[in-house]
A and B are shown apart, each in its own frame.
Chain A
Amino acid sequence: MKKLLLAVAVSSVAAGSASAATIYEKDGFTYKLNGDFQVQFRQDPGVDQNAEIEFDDLELKNYVSYDLGNGLTGFGRLDFGFKDAAEDKADAGALEEAYVGMKYGVASFSFGKQNFASDEFGIEESYEDVLGEDQFDNVSTDGDDTLRLDVELDAVYLAASYEMDAEGENSANGEYFDLFASTEFAGLTLAVAYQNATPAIGAEDFDTWGVSASYDFDIATIAADYSVTDETNTRAEQTLLNVATTFDVASTTGVALGIRNYEEDNASDDINEWYANVTYKFPAAKNVSLFAEIADTDADNSDLGYLAGMRVKF
């Protein structure tokens, strides 16, 4: 489940935790540790799918920072993910993010292995998806030679990132330039994102654009996003539209409903996907949740998919 802040999530707290995140703090040094463990019993929507135990997130996130004085902070982040290892996949790399940076006032600059600015885009609320979260997700949203700048103002958030192609080096891959901007006022959140991608050295580059809007009605949040990837010599234009709503049915229970539409210009039919999920957070410890989701697409012979799982965060 990504992006849009669920009403239930916004209002949620980590009840019962002694001091969530911060492990050690002294003389300007801070060490924070977060974790996200999510395991699902799942059968994906589609043709001839079977049920299994899936590991969605098995993450440990380490953050250290030093107060360098005069408003300057030096920080480092090292995040490990173990879901592929849990699935016994051969190429189960555990390192998800590894970067360092400096923060001054509202701006922070970081470099290393991290998410692109366009990873911030999107409003969808499903636990799992078939068609992709958005077009940026369908292209690429993270790299290992990435420089990133984040600026967080009162009502405006800006991010820019550049992934070097590192030609001739061990980390040689594509080149990406990403921008993201969002603003919030009176319950309305608007965002735009842009990416110029060159997926491989010497390949043709192409652009992806996206716009999104969400409005918090207090009793429910309604949101939509639209992203489009330009055509290239080898691929037609692709568009992806998301519409989602979230609402609380109790102080502990949130519901999300959504549809998405994926279309390729030269394809005869576009594909629609819908999903509905419910999340229950335990009152005594809202970082522990149970959830269930059903989803399906209108692709030929697609069967309904379902999942139920548990998540523990700290």
Chain B
Amino acid sequence: MKAIVAPYFLLALLFSAQALAEVTLALGPCVQAHVVNGEEKTALPDSSLTLTNGTQQLVVDCTAMLGRSSDDAFPETGEAFVLLFEAANTELTLSAPRIQTRRQMTDFNREKDFRLTNTAGTPVNYHVDVLEKEGFQVFRDYPGELEAFNRNSSPAAIRMQLPGLADADTDTAGPSPKAGDQGAPDQETVRQMLRYWYLQADKQTRKEWKNWIQSSN
């Protein structure tokens, strides 16, 4: 009996390990994603995203029906926010406070009080900042804006620091990967560097890179 059960057990373990090798992010009722880890990707409220383990950077906003009655309520979108957090092998929920009035929307834009929690309801740390855009707001280039955003010193920006360079802005709280002190580089740093340069690459460079990876294998 044990001989029969053991392979199934190992198989189940293997599948569960594979299932956990990623992050599932559920979006709350008003939260909509526009960019997911550098890629333009629209995820509607009450939907979920599957992310690879590691550093996660999203552009999200919240649209709510605002007005003193359902008949007089009109859709209004708050600021676009950049969210940055670390997550691996977990299921998270990203939600905003209940917003029913313009005052609540104004407060939310100011407080940026998203709630990022795991399945146990435990808050997960994140950095957040406004992705500011002046001028016409109708058709925004979120990936382009995020690229520019990542060059500033916001805690929610993905900043890259090459090994050996001095840490120029140690007072900011955002992830700034560093290589290991000696020997083989820290693999987390390698991961973040790969992701960082992938996000910087244009489509052609990404294509070449993917081909190179495949040929290297």
Question: Which residues of A line the B interface, CB within 8 A?
Answer: 1-6, 9-27, 32, 34, 36, 61, 106, 120, 122, 125, 152, 157, 251, 283-284, 287, 313-314
Q: 5 A-B residue contacts at CB 8 Å?
A: A2-B70, A5-B69, A25-B133, A157-B68, A287-B75
The complex places the Cα of A284 from the Cα of B62 at a distance, in Å, of: 15
B71 and A12 contact, CB distance less than 8 A: no
The complex places the Cα of A125 from the Cα of B136 at a distance, in Å, of: 36
A17 and B63 contact, CB distance less than 8 A: yes
Q: A10-B100, A13-B29 are in contact. Are A21 and B136 (CB under 8 A)?
A: no
CB of B32 within 8 A of chain A? Answer: yes
Pick the contact of A22 from B46, B65, B69, B77 — CB < 8 Å? B77
* Interface-central residue, B32, B64, B137, by most chain A CB under 10 Å: B137
A1-B70, A10-B98, A284-B44 given. 20 additional CB < 8 A pairs? A2-B69, A9-B65, A9-B70, A10-B100, A12-B65, A13-B32, A14-B64, A15-B63, A19-B138, A19-B140, A20-B75, A22-B137, A23-B136, A24-B136, A24-B137, A25-B135, A27-B134, A34-B74, A61-B74, A313-B75
Determine how close the nearest CB of chain B comes to the CB of A78; give it in whole angstroms: 15
* Interface-central residue, B63, B135, B136, B140, by most chain A CB under 10 Å: B63
Q: A3-B71, A22-B137 are in contact. Are A15 and B45 (CB under 8 A)?
A: yes
Question: Which residues of B line the A interface, CB within 8 A?
Answer: 29-30, 32, 42, 44-46, 61-65, 68-77, 80, 98, 100-103, 133-140
A2 / chain B contacts, CB cutoff of 8 Å: 69-72
Instruction: Name the CB-closest residue of A to B30.
Output: A13
Instruction: Name the CB-closest residue of A to B44.
Output: A15
B137 and A13 contact, CB distance less than 8 A: no
The complex places the Cα of A13 from the Cα of B65 at a distance, in Å, of: 6
A61 / chain B contacts, CB cutoff of 8 Å: 74
A21 and B77 contact, CB distance less than 8 A: yes
Determine how close the nearest CB of chain A comes to the CB of B67; give it in whole angstroms: 9
A122 / chain B contacts, CB cutoff of 8 Å: 69
Instruction: Name the CB-closest residue of A to B101.
Output: A152
B63 and A120 contact, CB distance less than 8 A: no
B69 / chain A contacts, CB cutoff of 8 Å: 2-5, 120, 122
The complex places the Cα of A30 from the Cα of B94 at a distance, in Å, of: 29
* Interface-central residue, B63, B70, B102, by most chain A CB under 10 Å: B70
The complex places the Cα of A157 from the Cα of B65 at a distance, in Å, of: 18
Instruction: Name the CB-closest residue of B to A25.
Output: B137
B63 and A26 contact, CB distance less than 8 A: no
B101 / chain A contacts, CB cutoff of 8 Å: 152
Q: Which 4 residue pairs are nearest across A and B when measured between Cβ atoms?
A: A14-B75, A20-B75, A9-B70, A34-B74
B75 / chain A contacts, CB cutoff of 8 Å: 13-14, 17, 20-21, 34, 287, 313-314
The complex places the Cα of A3 from the Cα of B72 at a distance, in Å, of: 8
